Amino acid sequence: MVVRSPTMNRKSNELTNAVLSCLFAALISIGAFIALPVPGSPVPIVLQNMFIMLAALILGPKWGLFATILYLLFGLLGLPVFSGGAGGIAKLLGPTGGYLIGYIPASVVMGFIAIKGKRKVLINIFACLTGMTIVYAFGIVWLKSVLDIEWGKALAAGLYPFILGDIIKIALASLLAPRLFAGIEILTGRDADV
């Protein structure tokens, strides 16, 4: 039987969390490829936000943020990981850039709430609702500014068409996260305090 020191456990947890963050960055990228255009809106329906929710709920604020920043870095470097297979700084400066930027604080807030609430489903729902509110706050303000449109048009193009889909994604992420977290804990032996 191998006895592991606390330092070995901590280093093992860090490595496991880093690998899981990279995996989630890849899943977020894949989720962005699944993009359905919305008539009259430059903002498509995507699955990337569901994977950002899952990363935050499962990995917590630090490693969920790492996964999100890694994903954004891939896109800024020109890799085709943004919605519709786009990449580069132009996407960040375009109409949907605010949503992408909003993922950064949202992942921290969702992860923090999930950990404090012991990743229970209702807490996860609250975390995701809070996170998506942050994303939409950044996204709609940016959309309005870039397109130079009125608030009503910004809401019609950047919020209303996505509410039902996001409610479904929030429910799925909130239900899946505790099960995935438990499975990851068993498979990796990772400590729950990420």
More confident site: 48 or 84: 48
CA neighbor of 137 nearest in space, from 123, 164, 155 = 155
Q: What is the CATH number of the domain that holds 160?
A: 1.10.1760.20
For residue 186, what pLDDT band results from cuts at 50, 70 and 90? confident
More confident site: 2 or 115: 115
- Asked if residue 4 is part of any domain, the answer here is no
3-state secondary structure string, 72-116? Answer: HHHHHCCCCCEHHHECCHHHHHCCCHHHHHHHHHHHHHHHHHHHH
**Structural Rg of the chain based on CA atoms:** 17
- Asked if 106 and 52 touch (Cβ cutoff 8 Å), the reply is yes
Q: What is the pLDDT of residue 82?
A: 93
The angle formed by the CA atoms of residues 193, 181 and 20, to the nearest 5 degrees, is: 80
Q: Please give the residue range of the domain that contains residue 68.
A: 12-34+41-188
- Asked if residue 50 is part of any domain, the answer here is yes
- Asked if residue 6 is part of any domain, the answer here is no
For residues 157-165, give the mean pLDDT: 94
Please give the Cα distance from 116 to 25 (Å, whole number). 23
- Asked if residue 2 is part of any domain, the answer here is no
Q: Is 85 left (phi over 0), alpha (psi -120 to 50) or beta?
A: left
- Asked if residue 3 is part of any domain, the answer here is no
pTM of the predicted structure, to 2 decimals? 0.90
Please give the Cα distance from 137 to 111 (Å, whole number). 18
- Asked if residue 1 is part of any domain, the answer here is no
- Asked if residue 180 is part of any domain, the answer here is yes
Residues 7-66: pLDDT tens digits?
A: 657 777 889 999 999 999 999 999 998 888 888 888 888 999 999 999 999 999 999 999
Residues 113-127: pLDDT tens digits?
A: 999 999 899 999 999
Of all residues in the chain, the percent with pLDDT exceeding 70 is 93
Burial group, residue 147, by CB count within 10 angstroms (0-12, 13-18, 19+): middle
The number of domains in the chain is: 1
- Asked if 102 and 138 touch (Cβ cutoff 8 Å), the reply is yes
- Asked if residue 77 is part of any domain, the answer here is yes
Of all residues in the chain, the percent with pLDDT exceeding 90 is 76
Q: What is the pLDDT of residue 42?
A: 87
Q: What is the pLDDT of residue 2?
A: 39
Average pLDDT, the chain: 91
